[in-house]
Amino acid sequence: MPAAATAVAAEPSVRAPLPVLGRDVAVPLVTGGEVTYAALDQAASAPALQRVWDDVAAYAPYYGSVHRGAGYLSQLSTDLFENARRTVAEFLDCRDGDEVVFTRSTTDSLNLLAAALPDGCEVFVFETEHHAALLPWRRAGRVTFLDAPASPAQAVAALERALADRDPYGPALVCVTGASNVTGELWPVRELAAAAHAHGARIVLDAAQLAPHRAVSVRELDVDWVAFSGHKLYAPFGSGVLAGHADWLREAEPYLAGGGASRTVVRRADGGVDVRWHETAARHEAGSPNVIGAYAVASACKALTEAGFEALATREDALVRAVREGLADVPEVRFLSLFGDDAPRVGVLSFVVDGWNSSHFAAALSAEYGIGVRDGLFCAHPLVRRLLGGDTGGAGECGAPEAGALNAIRVSFGAGTPEEHVARFVRAVRELVRDGARWTYRTVDGRCVPDAPGRA
């Protein structure tokens, strides 16, 4: 462990309902001393739940190759891997016959589905999507990009018009997020699914930001597929899920060709090779799978289900209110929103601060207060540019007041966030706006970083 990141005892008063790794890590402040790190960038990656880590550690000695070994550890690992698949299916309330495919991430899942589109399929996607949901379809065929809506009802109406007007009226897929990774706002998934199906289209839900915060039911939402990432669901990096209808996946060429995806491979008389591919999820899981990653995702699914999404959402709503109300009388702070300030949302808020370069503000939160947030365009460039009122320019010099915001700052939290961390964030924002930074910063490779001690 680095000397700059040592463990300290956390006070009981700041404990969260679902303990996470790193909750007791102390980080140095440029102004002197240490403070418990406030991880408020969970929309990017959430810390792993302690329970998930403990489950993985308990399994690690029994690690073995799945589907291929006669030995005890291989059989145990195979059972664990397939049980993880069933756990995820239950977590998502999948239909009978739905497939659960383990992938590397939401990005990987949506690229897999893009590779499985039938010929002539047209994809409809709002410009508000994360790049993982916005970009994979460009290689697959025709894509219609829909403008950012001003309300949930406008989103449904715009989709209905676009689907009705498509020419030719062939197969179509709609891709939509469940919760914005920029504003946190909840999208009308059930209504969009109804519109898609009414016009002969299918729909895939990007649940990367929704699944960690709200229950996701494939049946109730009536979506055809759902994709999410383990690293946003309090599991370690490198695991993801695509779950839903099997037909398009079964009819497509394997996403990756290799062992595990193939049932039989035989030489032909002419010297070539004939292959029979699996018709189950294994068709798109070539290679030795990430057993530990799948197990970690399943463990997180169980932990969230047992904690109860209703209770978690109620607590998270209180944290969102604490941020918004705590900064309501700071006119320099402007929160970004598509559907309005009162729109339902998960624990994700983006904002700009008048007179501040967002990179500078985020750097000061980290260096002077031990608070980790994110600044930039959040892999959703068209949406953030629209919310900021136009194109953003290049990065400005650190510390230089900006006439127009170049990018934004995002604070995000979840089931493992202590109330104290949110209160510290509110105090820090108020102090920085009122008093300015206490340290000097410079631009290095386009980012603001604190000057070395002795240069302040």
Catalytic site residues? Answer: 379
Q: Please list the alpha-helical segments (H only) found in 256-357.
A: 291-307, 309-326
Distance CA 313, CA 215 (A): 10
Tokens for 358, please give them: 């967002």
Beta strands in 122-271 (DSSP E): 122-126, 142-146, 172-177, 202-206, 225-229, 240-244, 262-267
Peptide bond into 212 cis (omega under 30): no
Q: Which residues pair with 34 in a beta bridge?
A: 28
What counts of helices (H) and strands (E) characterise the chain? Answer: 13, 20
Q: Which residues pair with 124 in a beta bridge?
A: 144, 174
Single-letter amino acid, residue 350: S
CA distances from 199 to 32, 114, 153 (A): 61, 20, 17
Distance CA 389, CA 241 (A): 35
Asked whether 244 and 272 are in contact (CB, 8 A), the reply is: no
Tokens for 87, please give them: 């756990």
Q: Tell which residue, 375, 326, 328, 319, has the closest CA to residue 352.
A: 375
CA distances from 347 to 141, 172, 299, 321, 414 (A): 35, 32, 22, 10, 6
Name residue, tokens 């109860």. Answer: 308
Distance CA 449, CA 456 (A): 12
CA distances from 327 to 162, 206, 255, 305, 425 (A): 39, 30, 47, 32, 10
